[in-house]
Amino acid sequence: MSSNTNLSYKRAVRILTGACGLLFSAFSFIYLYLFQGDVLGALHYSLSQGKTHYSPLAGAIIITLVLLIFRWGINGLLGLKGSVRSLSYFPSCLLLGVLTDVNRSLYHGGNFADKWLWLLPLLLIMYVGVVFVLRRIFRHWLDHESSVIGLINSNLAILLILCLMTACIGNSDINFHHELAIENAIREKDYKAARKVGYESLDPSRTLTVLRAYALSREGTMGEHLFEYPQYYGSDGLLFSSSSQGTLRLDADSLYNYLGAKPYTAESTTDFLARICRDEVGKHTALDYYLSALLLDKKLDKFASVVEDSFFEQDTLPRYYREAIMLYKQSHPAYPRVLNDTLMIQRLQEFDKLQKEYTSPVEQKNRMRREFGDTYWWYYRYQ
């Protein structure tokens, strides 16, 4: 091989090394800052017990720099060359994945998955073994100056596979990410941002449903926005379950403190909220929770009675309270409250008319959801 060709090959190697470093840095930063920033923030909060603040931007930059230095040290020790040079990013990508492989056990003092206590050392030992074999058995092939195109393709392919490995290891549970994001927005008292988290999600977890209801209550818009979201848990979606006593910053006790009382053992959500409203031991926020619980459990008779007792005739009811009252008045025309919402009355008539156009229950439900999925009427008839 001529000296000019040799110089060109070495220049290509240097360019490739720099390009791989830039690509890994970009991937690591984007992954940490945009996709896993909430997970790292929660992990930091759990490990520090809330004593220090985590900055997603600073955290992403620092961790990326540390992993780059770590990769440089690994390559200096193992001396990977040629078509497998980018294998030196394996430990950094593995650590990046492990760092973001946390789950809901984080809410109860957990951190990384227990499997990494033995799996991480095992994988690193296996990695060193593979590199040793490559350096001893395939040394001639690694030192051989192959084509520049082949060199670039093989190294970029390895780096791509390692990045995909990282993404597969890290937590990709969208509901978990939404829970952390909405919890963080609540902590910042940005309740409008909190209710926008996971707005398009069609399969929210119970914890996410509880957090969203809490954010709406804090904003004072529970009656305006609650049924814009899927409600799969009925009134139970307003309180944490016994197996899931809250998240990092909002637990069951803090929610009960917000409502003003705790439920008795085996007391249902609706009975608990009815009791604290009836006995006036709950705070003013408990009434919205109680009315929402009645709507979620489709107890329109009781809902209409509570509305009549709790609101003056001239009070303007929130959107979903008005929708529920209009639905109730269809079967109880003698109900005294009058609602002068012409547009809502017209829309309910369109709802009833559209229902009659379909004979297939499945087709009817899907079409009605497209047209009226954000109404209480759809929830009452189809959910």
Per residue in 104-156, pLDDT (tens digit) is 888 887 777 788 999 999 999 999 988 887 776 656 555 555 667 877 888 89
Angle, in degrees to the nearest 10, between helices 90-99 and 148-169: 20
DSSP H or E segment with residue 43? helix 37-48
| 203, two tokens | 């399969």
Whether 205 and 345 map to the same domain: the answer is no
- Indicate the DSSP class of residue 226: G
- Between the alpha carbon of residue 186 and those of residues 28, 60, 189, 197, 350, the distances in Å are 28, 23, 5, 11, 37
Residue 342: count other Cβ atoms within 10 Å of its Cβ.
8
Whether 381 and 319 map to the same domain: the answer is yes
Whether 234 and 146 map to the same domain: the answer is no
- Which of 121, 152, 171 finishes a domain? 171
CA 220 – CA 292 distance, rounded (Å):
13
Is 70 exceeded by the pLDDT of residue 380?
A: yes
* Across 50-64, 77-91, 204-218, 281-295, least confident range: 77-91
- Which of 171, 202, 236 finishes a domain? 171
- Which of 298, 333, 354 finishes a domain? 298
Which pLDDT score is estimated for 6?
Answer: 65
Flag whether 306 is in a domain: no
CA 303 – CA 295 distance, rounded (Å):
7
- Indicate the DSSP class of residue 34: I
Whether 201 and 279 map to the same domain: the answer is yes
Whether 31 and 50 map to the same domain: the answer is yes
Flag whether 304 is in a domain: no
Flag whether 143 is in a domain: yes
Whether 35 and 161 map to the same domain: the answer is yes
Determine the structural domain holding residue 334 and report its residue range.
311-383
Whether 12 and 117 map to the same domain: the answer is yes
52: left (phi over 0), alpha (psi -120 to 50) or beta: beta
Whether 161 and 86 map to the same domain: the answer is yes
CA 35 – CA 283 distance, rounded (Å):
38
- Between the alpha carbon of residue 167 and those of residues 28, 57, 102, 125, the distances in Å are 10, 19, 13, 22
Flag whether 251 is in a domain: yes
Burial class (CB in 10 A: 0-12, 13-18, 19+), 368: buried
- Three-state secondary-structure class, residue 50: coil
Whether 159 and 180 map to the same domain: the answer is no
Whether 149 and 231 map to the same domain: the answer is no
- Three-state secondary-structure class, residue 316: coil
Whether 188 and 121 map to the same domain: the answer is no
Instruction: Please count the structural domains in the chain.
Output: 3
- Indicate the DSSP class of residue 107: G
Q: How confident is the model at residue 1 (pLDDT cuts 50, 70, 90)?
A: very low
Whether 236 and 284 map to the same domain: the answer is yes
Flag whether 198 is in a domain: yes
Which pLDDT score is estimated for 310?
Answer: 92
pLDDT tens, residue by residue, 291-349: 999 999 999 999 999 999 999 888 889 999 999 999 999 999 999 998 888 999 999 99
Flag whether 303 is in a domain: no
Flag whether 58 is in a domain: yes
